[in-house]
């Protein structure tokens, strides 16, 4: 894990506006229970690319993990609308599945 962490930090250092690297590091922090750091990176990834669905899904999971269900659902609703606008059925399905999962765990 330290190698992966170092690798992702290095990627972000050299490409700070790479939403994929930000999302991967944010997701790693999420796995580690480092919710504030995860939220910051995932939010930044979405600022850079509002249509980056992996960041939307991970940020929603992060918010739900910190008992912010409404925040999680707002993020997923916006992501679903974006996916529908872009006619991206794969992204829409992933977002919908995450919404259903969050609803089941309440």
Q: Which domains does the chain have, with CATH numbers?
A: 2-104 (1.25.40.10)
pLDDT tens digits for range 41-75: 999 999 999 999 999 999 999 999 999 999 999 99
| In contact, 24 and 12? CB cutoff 8 Å | no
CB atoms closer than 10 angstroms to residue 2? 6
Residue 59: the pLDDT is 99
Q: Find out whether 92 and 60 touch, Cβ atoms under 8 Å.
A: no
Which pLDDT does position 75 carry in this prediction? 98
User: What pLDDT does residue 92 have?
Assistant: 97
Q: What is the pLDDT of residue 105?
A: 80
- CB within 8 A of 61, min separation 6: which ones? 30, 72, 98, 102
List the Cα angle 44/41/55 in 5-degree steps. 75
Residue 29 in this model has a pLDDT that exceeds 90: yes
């Amino acid at each position: 894990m330290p190698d992966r962490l170092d690798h992702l930090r290095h990627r972000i250092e050299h490409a700070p506006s790479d939403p994929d690297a930000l999302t991967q590091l944010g997701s790693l922090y999420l796995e580690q229970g480092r919710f504030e750091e995860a939220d910051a990176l995932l939010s930044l990834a979405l600022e850079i690319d509002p249509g980056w669905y992996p960041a939307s899904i991970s940020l929603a999971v992060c918010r739900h993990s910190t008992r912010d269900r409404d925040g999680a659902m707002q993020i997923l609703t916006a992501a679903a609308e974006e996916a529908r606008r872009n006619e991206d059925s794969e992204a829409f399905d992933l977002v919908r599945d995450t919404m259903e999962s969050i609803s089941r765990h309440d």
